[in-house]
Amino acid sequence: MAARPPSGRAGLPAGAAPPLRGTPVGSSSARSGSGGGAGSGLAAGMAASAVTTPAPAGSAMSTMASAPPVRPTDDDDVLTVDELVAWLRLSESTVLKLLSERAIPARKVGHQWRVRRGRVRDWLDGRE
């Protein structure tokens, strides 16, 4: 068995560049050659690919996660009871019961219920 040459960084073969920021350790850009040593093989590659280098605090990648969610463009749509029944896939009697109990946020216009799609989305998500 041949001795492995000393490594400049822990876990990297001699002469191999460290992985790029955000690149999973053990990915093809971080490996150099096919080595056959103790750390090679499918299991070692899979275990190492789960580790990533975090992005710097001020980078675009870190600020994207903190951006508020984008609301769908149809949130201002006003639905009738029939449209709400079809969208929620509930019976008309169940929807009317939820509307009369004020469980679903809605307004009554004359004798007819009107519901904003975005408010129902919020209610379904538990934000209403």
Q: Which of 2-11, 15-24, 53-62, 86-95 has the highest mean pLDDT?
A: 86-95
pLDDT for res 10 = 59
Start-end of CATH 1.10.10.10 domains in the chain: 74-124
What DSSP character marks residue 70? P
Q: Is the predicted pLDDT of residue 85 greater than 90, yes or no? A: yes
Q: Is the predicted pLDDT of residue 34 greater than 60, yes or no? A: no
For 108, the 3-state DSSP assignment is strand
Residue 30: band (very low, low, confident or very high) from pLDDT cuts 50, 70, 90: very low
Alpha-carbon span 2 to 38, nearest angstrom: 12
For 107, the 3-state DSSP assignment is strand
Q: Which of 23-27, 53-57, 88-92, 96-100 has the lowest mean pLDDT?
A: 23-27
- Separation of CA 59 from chain center: 19
pTM of the complete model beyond 0.85? no
Q: Is the predicted pLDDT of residue 69 greater than 60, yes or no? A: yes
Alpha-carbon span 90 to 101, nearest angstrom: 16
pLDDT for res 127 = 83
Q: What's the whole-number average pLDDT of the chain?
A: 73
Contacts of range 111-116, beta carbons closer than 8 Å, 24 or more positions apart: 112/80, 112/81, 113/80, 113/81, 113/84, 114/78, 114/79, 114/80, 115/78, 115/79, 115/80, 115/84, 116/75, 116/76, 116/77, 116/78, 116/79
pLDDT for res 16 = 65
> Distance from first CA to last CA of the chain, Å, rounded?
67
87, 80 Cβ separation under 8 angstroms = no
Options 3.40.50.720, 1.10.10.10, 2.60.40.1120, 3.30.479.30; CATH for 74-124 is 1.10.10.10
